[in-house]
Amino acid sequence: MASGIGRRRAAALADSSASYTERRREIRDAAAQVFRAKGYGGTSLGDIAEALGTDRASLYYYVASKEDLFQEVVRDAAEANVRRAEEIRDLDDAAPHKLELLIASVMASYAEYYPYLFVYIQEELNRLGDGKSGWAREMRKINRRFDDAVIGIVQSGMDDGSIRAVSPARVVAYGIIGMLNWTHRWYRDKDGTLPDAGAIGAAFADTLVNGLRNNPA
């Protein structure tokens, strides 16, 4: 049976007033910085409350736990990413341009949800859940759909000759995904000298896609 605070939280979520939504955004943003600094495992709801200058009990009206907060944001971001990847895959467009759109889209998402998706990549799926939870199963399905969308784009380009068949489509696709994921190690460096996510995505797209593009001699 749900607790009193749980019922109040559910009702507030359903109502989604502007003030309630804004406070949840503030909690999400504060939690993001704590997750980044301490790692997922090293962060408690008390740490997030301290970063906000409030007490842990006050947070329960907005979030049930750090797990629920983190998983909600990551799931929403991952679902948005995979829907966009599938939309790009299904466009009536050349595969190299689709890859450019995909790379730019992923980097924009990493910036929008910073650093949740980076922490998710860094900590690995099984360390953020028991591996058998509904959330973990859902995330594995989303990840497979995203992989399949990227593989589909690459394969279509190889089939029509617009992308060089330098390796099986799956290998090329995983290389692209790995390149994007590895940005969790250095994105938003401390001295602020890196370009923004849009510029990084454009540079990646230019470097990678032009290397794969099958240009007529």
pLDDT tens sequence for the chain (217 residues): 346 777 787 777 777 788 888 988 899 888 888 887 887 888 899 999 999 999 988 888 888 888 888 888 888 889 999 999 999 999 999 999 999 999 999 988 888 887 788 778 877 655 555 566 788 889 899 999 999 999 999 999 999 999 999 899 999 999 999 988 888 778 775 556 667 888 888 888 888 888 888 764 4
Same domain? 106 vs 206: yes
3-state secondary structure of 12: helix
Residues 38 and 124 placed together within one structural domain of the fold: no
Q: Contact 114/188 with Cβ under 8 angstroms?
A: yes
pLDDT value for 1: 35
- Burial 85-107, CB ≥16 within 10 A → b, else e: beebbeeeeebbbbbbbbbbbbb
Confidence at residue 117, expressed as pLDDT on a 0 to 100 scale: 83
Residues 94 and 45 reside in one and the same domain: no
pLDDT of residue 2: 47
Asked if residue 176 and residue 75 are part of one domain, the reply reads yes
Structural domain harbouring 9? 2-59
pLDDT at site 38 = 84
- Does one domain contain both 10 and 107? no
- Identify whether 217 is part of a domain: no
Q: Do residues 86 and 128 share a domain? A: yes
Question: Residue 163 in 3-state DSSP?
Answer: strand
d(CA 105, CA 59): 32
> In terms of Cα–Cα distance, which of 198, 209, 120 is closest to 163?
209
Count how many domains the chain has.
2
**Domain match, 44 and 74 both:** no
Same domain for 143 and 182: yes
